[in-house]
Each structure stands twice: as C-alpha cells, then as structure tokens.
Structure 1
Amino acid sequence: MSRKSDRAVSRRQFLLGAGMASAGSIALAGCTEQGGTPTDGESSLSGEFRMTGSSTVYPLAVEVVNQFENEHSNVNIPINRTGSGGGFSNHFCVGNSVINNASRPITEGEQQQCGENDVTPHEIKVASDAVTVIVNGDNDWVDCMTVDQLGQIWREGGAQNWSDVDPSWPDEPINRFGAATTSGTFDYFKETIVGEDTNHTSEYSATERDNEILAGVQRDQYAIGYFGFAYYADNQDVVKAVSIDNGDGCVEPSLENARSGEYQPLSRPLFTYVAEGALEREEVAEFCRFFVEQSTNQDLVADTVGYVPNTEDERERELQELNDTIESVQ
C-alpha cells in the first residue's frame, strides 16, 4: 500500500492515532505550484522544511500537508507538536524550524528572541477555534458555568472540591486536566479565564496531548478539562461540553457560536508563522500560499477538522500580505 493511502484515515482515527503517536516528528510530504495546481502533472519543486508548534493547529496543518502532497511528491514537511510557546522558543526563533503553528499571537519576548537570531516571523491567520471545557459524561450537576466559576476552579489557591464552587454540587475533589504551560491554549485560557494577574493552578494534569486530556476526563466522574473544539467535536459521545455564561446567559461551544462571536470569551483565532527568510525558497512560499487558500475550505477546516474557516475577505487579505512579503524577499 502506498504511503499516501496509509494516511487516508477518518478524522476520529487521525485524532486518536495522532494523540497516541510518539513525540517524534511525523514525516509528511507535499508541494504545489503557485495557485495550488501543477501545470504539467509533475511538480518541479523539491526540498524539506520543518513545521513545529501548536497541538491545536496540528490536525489542520496535517490535513493541509496531506492535500499539498497529493498534488506533488518531492517536498517533505516533518511536523512536531511542541506547543505554541515551545515551538517558538526551542525551534522557530532559533532557526530549527521555518514554520510554527500557534493558537495565540506571538509574544513580544518571542519576537525579541527571533530578532536576536535574525528570524523575522510573518503571521498568517488560518482559522478560528472555540476553546471547549469538558466534564465527564456522568457529571449530572454541571451543564453551564460562569467565567467566575471556571476561574475559581483553575486559579492558584482556588476551589478544591466541586462544592467550593457551588454548595449544591458534590463534596468531591475537582480533578483537572489541561494544557501544558508551553501551550498557546494554556496561555489563552489563563488570560481569559484565570486572569493576567493571577496564576493558573499547578494542581492539574498538564499535557501537550489533547487525547490525554480527553482520556482523563472520560474515566473520572469528577474531572474537568479544556482543549480546542476539534478534539471535542469528534468525541461528543464520551464527554460533555460545558456551556459558558459570560454575563449574557449560557452559550454552548460550537462552530456557529464561535463564528457569530456569541461564544465568549473562549473564541480565538489560530495562526501559523513562517520565517520571512525561508520564503526565498519556492517550496516554502508555495506551501504557505496553499495553506492560506485552504483556510476558507469548509470541507477541510470545518467538516474534517472542526474549526471555523476564514472568510473570503480574510483569505484575500492574508494572501495579499503573504505575496507582498514573498515579493520583498525573492
């Protein structure tokens, strides 16, 4: 069986398989001519470049690379899930990868580190997400939580038992599963739920692997966790999503509510960053164009992965800015 047909798996198989894979890179291949379609059935591009970063963006990036390689076969793109921050600090900003996926914007400190190593990041918005809070399927006391209640659970020195949040809830320990500190999801959740001036609790099971969060919550009636919507969307039969009350009533996490802006404060943009210097290479430039072009693909972004696609206006803006940068370096 061919390498490509080996990867023709369902989204559920992909998410579970990806979560169970080792931390080593998954080598993928792909390439495209400008505009995304080869002119003669055979790509003239070749080369290899590395992609690191966000576990949230990871399933989308893998799907894009798979489509990219279905058109061309001579460009290899190994992908590592390192977390947004881990990808920036350990790989992208020191020149060990040329693309870094991120579930939050690059920080000033990361930009400074990149600058010290002559790496200039170019930001590309590739989709939007709804960070999803999950509880065990047998949890019959929580369907909706306020931002303040979530803050009590996830801040340092906060609630220890469910009854500490609401006296009518069980007097049982809260068992937490969440993103590691190198994760952009951790950064975003801390900022929006815990608060910039308050520490996120360290009393939780932290991981870069969303399937481990899912498994932890699935096996524990008193557990709670959070991760990107895509990992919930394909596992709605084994865990329960918590609606969020941001002051205007309970709103469930969904692509529609994220798209409309009703799901607050946990709707967020997703990014990929490419080193401007690497855009001198045609294979890197064409892959980035392809990623932008696929960002409005409803079948891929929403139906296959589970994120909100870019609008046509967003795609055109991102493509124009990307092409301007490519022109300036080539």
Structure 2
Amino acid sequence: MSRDTSGWPTRSVSRRDLLAAMGASGAIGLAGCTRVASDEPEEVNIAGSSTVFPIAEAIASDFVQENPDINVSVSQTGSGGGFSNFFCPGMTDLNNASRPIEEDERTQCSTNGVEPIEFTVGTDALTVVVNPEADWVDCVTIDELRQIWRADGAERWSDVREDWPDEEFDLYGADTVSGTFDYFRETVIGEDANHRNDYAGTEKDRTIVRGVRGSPYAMGYFGFSYYSENPDAIKALAVDGGEGCVEPSLETAQAGEYQPLSRPLFTYAAKGSLSNPAVEKFVRYFIEKAATDLVADVGYVPITEEERDEDLERLDAALEDVA
C-alpha cells in the first residue's frame, strides 16, 4: 500500500503552474512569488486527508496570492497518517481529515503537547465508481457494497447478483491510513467484519481513477471531488441506503438525501501554532473561504454561514488562550 510520507517542496508556484501540476504530486508547496529573495518567508505546513486536499490546495493557492510573504505547504498523507506521523508529533500546523480525530490520536497529540482544534470545512458525497462499460449496474445497496468489500466476501460480480457478469472484481480504494478508508469501513462494512485487503489501496485518488478507467470489471471509492473531475472517464453509482437509489451530488449531499455516504470534512489546527500570526491568518482565511463557492468548484458542499461563524468563534476562543 502506498503512503506519502515525503517532506514538502519549497519552490515558488504560481496558480497556473499549480493547477497544471495537480495530480502529479501528493505534496504541493505554495509560495508567494513577489517576495524579496533575501526575506525569510513565514511557513504554514499542512498534512492529512487526500479527500480534503483539493479544498486546502485551492484555498492555499488563493491565500499565497494575497499574502506573498507566507509559504503554505499541503501534503496528502491520509487523515490517520497525517495525525500520527506529522501533526501529533508537532511537525505540522494543520491536519486535514475526512473523519473526526480518534481518541488514540488525541492521546498521542496530548503526549507531545499538541492540542487539536477542530474546524468543519465542507461536506463530501463519498462516491462509488465503476468503469463506464459496466452497463449492468447503476445502483447498489449498502448490503451489496458490504458483500463486495468485506473480507471473505464476494469474489465475482455474479456472487452478488446472478445477472451480473461471471467475472472477478478488480477493486481500488483508500489506503488504511486514510480517513476515507475508516469511514467506508465503519459505514458500509460495520463492526462484525473487516475490510478486505486484496485490493489496490492508495492515497493517490487519481490512481483509483486510472485503475477503474482501465478495467471493465473494476470498482473503486473516494471523495466526490475526484469523480467530478472525471465524469466521462468513470461512472458513479447511485446508492440505496434504504430509501431508494440516490445519486451522489453536491445537491443530494447538501439536502441530506445521499445516505449513509454523505460526511463532514475537517481541518485541525494545533492550538500552539495559532500563536504564529501567519498560521492564525491562514486558518481564518481557510474558514471564511470554506463557506464560499470555491469549495463547490472543487467538488464539495461549502459550509453554511452558521458553521462558518461557529468555526470562527472556536478560533477566537483558542486565540484567547494562546495570546
């Protein structure tokens, strides 16, 4: 299974260069392009979820254009990989996450003197995708997904429905360090079984896109943003959570209709890092931008004004403690 545990690049990147490079790297460093070369720029370092990465990347790109004296580095390490390897050890200022921080992660953070402050930054419609040639399936039930993805489950399409092809699954999904993996395991598979391990697991969601696109009997899952980038290359399945088939979309996720695969997205700031004016400025910017169409542009539901205000109140309360 692949894990991105690399450091962050330090080269300056324009917004055009950045967008052209998306998908080529799991870690992107953004730096203001107009700063004096001899000046030492402020740094904001972010690791964590590949699902939240498109939001953080887009916001960071706009931020450095407005704040050329601050560098922002964003890396895809998976929610859990970011917490355990970077954020809780005190190496990063923020950790993006596609599920809430877990108790053992809080304990690790506490041991290292890191206090995580949670901010909601969007809503995702976790999306199950197949090859466009898979014309035999347009909707799956949660039970059928459980049969396909649990350990010792179905091996062939026809094991799930008799009229599906008598062909083996070719499966692509999130790595075990991923919050998407955790959410899918808990929501779809449940506590009485394990997620199967005979699949291609990765934190590079575009690798999942390529795998599914290249195999007629493939299935994969990831955040809606990566489907919205490739609607002609792969096919999203509607999901029946008990109330009939519902297609993943920003509208169904926002309306609460896409259940149970609609989920909140987070970023966590280290409370101590907020004493750095650059980090405080970026976190405030992140929260405010999370309530705008910028989040919808990358394939997620923006937070509401009420959620934004709650995030800002949480930020201000933390700042009072570190002032």
Q: What is the TM-score when the length of structure 2 is the normalising length?
A: 0.92
Partner SS for 2:313: helix
Work out which of the residue numbers 174, 180, 184 in structure 2 matches 1:189. 184
- Separation in 2 of the partners of 1:218 and 1:240? 9
- Aligned runs of 1:310-321 on 2, under 5 Å? 310-321=303-314
Alignment identity in percent? Answer: 52
Q: Which amino acid aligns with 2:245?
A: C
Contact 2:98 2:264 in 1 (8 A): yes
Quick one: distance in 2 between partners of 1:75 and 1:252? 40
CA RMSD of aligned residues (A): 1.7
- Give the stretch that moved more between structures: 71-80 or 273-282: 71-80
Gaps of 5+ in 2: 1-11, 33-38
Aligned residues: 307
Aligned partner of residue 77 in structure 1, secondary structure: strand
- 2:63 is aligned with 1:68: yes
Between the aligned partners of 1:45 and 1:296, the Cα distance in structure 2 is 32
Please say which of residues 216-225 and 44-53 is displaced more in the overlay: 44-53
Match of 1:57 in 2: 52
Matched residue, 2:22: 18
CA contact (8 A) 1:26 1:79 kept: yes
SS of alignment partner, residue 253 of structure 1: coil
Number of the residue aligned with 2:318 = 325
Structure-2 separation of matches of 1:3 and 1:205? 32
Structure 1 pair 194–283 and aligned structure 2 pair: CA distance change class (3 A) = same
Aligned counterpart in structure 1 of residue 148 of structure 2, from 153, 164, 187: 153
Query: Which residue of structure 1 lines up, in the alignment, with residue 242 of structure 2?
Result: 247
Post-superposition Cα deviations, 1:138-174, rounded to whole Å, max 9, x if no partner, equal 0011100000000000000000000000011011001
Whether 1:301 aligns to 2:305 is: no
Report deviation, 1:53: 0.3
Quick check: 1:104–1:185 contact (8 Å CA) kept in 2? Answer: yes
State the 1:27 CA deviation.
1.3
The Cα shift of 1:8 comes to 6.2
Kindly state the Cα deviation for residue 67 of structure 1 after the two structures are TM-superposed: 0.8
Q: Normalised by the size of structure 1, how large is the TM-score? A: 0.90
For residues 15 and 151 of structure 2, what CA distance do their matches in structure 1 show? 47
Deviations 1:233-282 (A, max 9, x none): 12111111000001110000000000000000000000000100111111
1:206 pairs with one of 201, 217, 220: 201
Moved over 4 A (4+): none
